[in-house]
Amino acid sequence: MKIETRLFGNIEIDVNKIINFSDGIIGFEDLKQFMIMHDAESEKSKILWLQSLDDGNIALPVIDPLMIKSDYNPVVEDELFKNIGELVDGEIFVLTTLTVPADITKITTNLKAPIVINPVTLKGCQIIVDNDDYVVRYPIYDILKSSKVADKEGE
């Protein structure tokens, strides 16, 4: 299966890596199938892309929130996970969406509404967490910049 995308051009889709969101994602409720893409420059990039397979023009920048906030531990009702299938040994893949404005120093991530993926069933959902200390626009530029320096020093 192939799809033409705005960011990645014409790509081959591995059907075994398609993630299904039965309710879509907030703001994109009609889009149900996605695939995680690495930045073309590097598979080591902290920023990933959630590429829509329903609309090749839509690719959401996402990040593992633990790379930004090591104590990220959202409170979530078990009921919210019903659409993604039973979690085996608590295995779960969590991503948060990024907002990247023209001024890159204002980049933020949405810790309030993580995207949760069951890696066994390849089903996902976006949830709103109960934690009051998690915000929709959490600034991450300085964190990304300092971790990039740390990565270079470790090479």
Q: What is the DSSP string of 12-63?
A: E--GGGPEE-TT-BTTBTT--EEEEEE-TT-TT-SEEEEEESS-TT-EEEEE
For 67, the 3-state DSSP assignment is helix
Q: What is the pTM of this model?
A: 0.86
Q: Confidence band (pLDDT; 50, 70, 90) for 43?
A: low
Computed over every residue of the chain, the mean pLDDT equals: 87
The domain defined by 2-154 folds into BH3618-like (2.30.290)
Residue 89, pLDDT score: 66
Mean pLDDT of 20-49: 87
The domain limits of the chain are 2-154
146 vs 155: CA distance, rounded Å: 15
pLDDT at 45 over 80: no
pLDDT at 155 over 80: no
Mean pLDDT of 119-133: 90
Residue-wise pLDDT for 67-115, tens only, equals 999 999 887 777 767 778 776 666 888 999 999 999 999 999 999 999 9
104 vs 57: CA distance, rounded Å: 21
Residue 94, pLDDT score: 93
Q: Confidence band (pLDDT; 50, 70, 90) for 152?
A: very low
Residue 153, pLDDT score: 40
